Amino acid sequence: MAGEQLVPTGAARSGLPTLGRTTPAADKETTMEAPVLSTPATAISAEQENNPWLAQAARFDEAARRLNLDAGLWKVLRFPSREIIVHIPVSMDDGSVEVFTGYRVQHSISRGPCKGGIRYSPDVSLDEVRALASWMTWKCAVVNIPFGGAKGGVICDPKTMSQGELERMTRRYTAALIEFIGPEKDVPAPDMGTNEQTMAWVMDTYSMHMGQTMTSVVTGKPVSLGGSRGRREATGRGISVVVDQALKHLNMVPAETTVIVQGFGNVGSNAAKLLWEKGYKIIGIGEFDGALHNPNGIDISELLQHRARTGSIHKFAGASAFDKDTLLTQPCDVLIPAATENVITSRNAHQLQCRILCEGANGPTTPLADDILGEKGVFIIPDILANAGGVTTSYFEWVQDRMGYFWTEDEVNQRLDRIMMDSFTDVLQYAIAHDVNNRIAAYMLAIDRVAHTTRQRGIYA
């Protein structure tokens, strides 16, 4: 396969010059070294706090230590099992050829095929994809679905690319990964910068190579191509369910609960809409280029119509323009970061004024910020629980594709609600039983489940 490198754990990156229209974030990557098992947890310095791989590893180490995980399993579960880097040539609309760098990291197949999204963003790095792949393993285990974890990413700026360029890049990326993905191997899904159309191209490219239509190779497809009803809203729906559960636990009621949401994409807009429909007061919405605020509440249905008409949330009559960075530190009951990593750090965690932090995005809070929020008594619903509604309905989609029989939206939603409620209870009980915070409880629950299947399967030699 031209242009592909299989990178063994710990290997340095290829060192190629600038590829595509953005530069690989080489300086962000770390060389993974074997864990020092005698230290209680990976110590994170202020300079390292924005590295998502180290953030994941720090939480993993803490949970593994509390579980008394044996040294061998610790090493097996700490590192991804396979990392693939591809450099993919794409014909651009102006006749030039660009080469884009893409990744697929497969963290674990212990509980089933790998599962995880594909991200298109200028900021994608190998360390980010490693972290996201590991989080997928823990997330699937928290909600107890039979998948391991993986993640993919391509360094590109989808906002500046035409549909034709995106299609050609997606097909070439899929072709480069063809032997590593499949319904029983690794099942991609959408993530930031990718959507149902991207998944349709992945499915079609894979099917063309296999000589038959194979819908179950990806999830998050259009419903007309084997997608599941309810998948588009599933992550936001899962968030609305766990926020409801947190309110019950903390003796709060929706009608008196204010919410701020950062990111008005798939996750953020659906979470905001569903919570607004349940009577929560959404007082702030943040986007990458500005924010909206209204202490009396924003009509989310009207905001969605406004965005559909104008292409952005800005100049919306039902709220005032607001600074996107200070939005996160405004008083509210529930804060939902639903955009990207590292938005709550040691620099702003002291200023947060929320009672509940529900992590719609993956990795929005750094470990140093966790410590500060713990001291402030913020109730955190960690990402690997809060945003697991998406992968849960992706699991339903995979099941339906393999059966060739499709459920109603009500059936999908009822099953999703049940799993999210049960998982919230499992994590909370784990936290109480082990006297740890919700995040470490979720990691412990997940690691315990993956360690169990890894022990049962044994180490193949």
Chain contacts with ligand NAD (rule: CB under 6 A): 190-193, 235, 262-268, 286-288, 324, 338-340, 360-362, 387, 390
**Of the two residues 310 and 429, which places its CB atom closer to ligand NAD in the complex?**
310
Report in angstroms the alpha-carbon separations of 118 from 44, 105, 130, 254: 27, 10, 12, 34
Provide, rounded to whole angstroms, the least separation between the CB of residue 261 and ligand NAD. Answer: 9
Nearer to ligand NAD, 264 or 316 (CB): 264
Pairing of strands 148-155, 97-108: antiparallel
Q: How far is the CB of 287 from ligand NAD (least distance, A)?
A: 5
Write down the least CB distance from residue 66 to ligand NAD, Å: 25
In angstroms, rounded to a whole number, what is the distance separating the alpha carbons of residues 404 and 8? 38
Per the CB < 8 A criterion, the answer to whether 47 and 342 are in contact is no
CB of 263 to ligand NAD, least distance (A): 3
- At closest approach, how far in Å is the CB of 158 from ligand NAD? 9
- The contacts of residue 229 (CB under 8 Å, 6+ apart) are 223, 406, 407, 408, 409, 412
- Spatial distance between the Cα atoms of 86 and 176, rounded to a whole number of angstroms: 7
In the complex with ligand NAD, which residue's Cβ is closer, 64 or 131? 131
305 Cβ neighbours under 8 A, 6+ residues apart: none
> CB of residue 54 vs ligand NAD: minimum separation in angstroms?
17
Label the pairing between strands 290-293 and 281-287: antiparallel
The phi, psi pair for 122, rounded to 5°, reads -65, -20
Question: Cα angle at 265 between 132 and 305, to 5 degrees?
Answer: 170
Contact between 322 and 293 (Cβ < 8 Å) = yes
Q: Which is nearer to ligand NAD, 64 or 218 (CB)?
A: 218
> Whose Cβ is closer to ligand NAD: residue 55's or residue 64's?
55
- Closer to ligand NAD by CB, 217 or 361: give it: 361
- Dihedral sign of CA atoms 166, 171, 172, 176 in order: positive
The one catalytic residue among 151, 221, 273, 281: 151
Question: Closest residue to ligand NAD, Cβ-based?
Answer: 265
> Closer to ligand NAD at the Cβ: 35 or 158?
158
Active site residue 151: yes
User: Is the distance from CB of 13 to CB of 36 less than 8 angstroms?
Assistant: no
CB of 167 to ligand NAD, least distance (A): 18
Taking the C-alpha atoms of residue 107 and residue 255, their distance in angstroms, rounded to an integer, is 41
- Burial code (b: 16+ CB inside 10 Å, e: under 16) for 167-199 equals bbbbbbbbebbeebbbbeebbbbbbbbbbbebb
**Which residues carry out catalysis?**
151
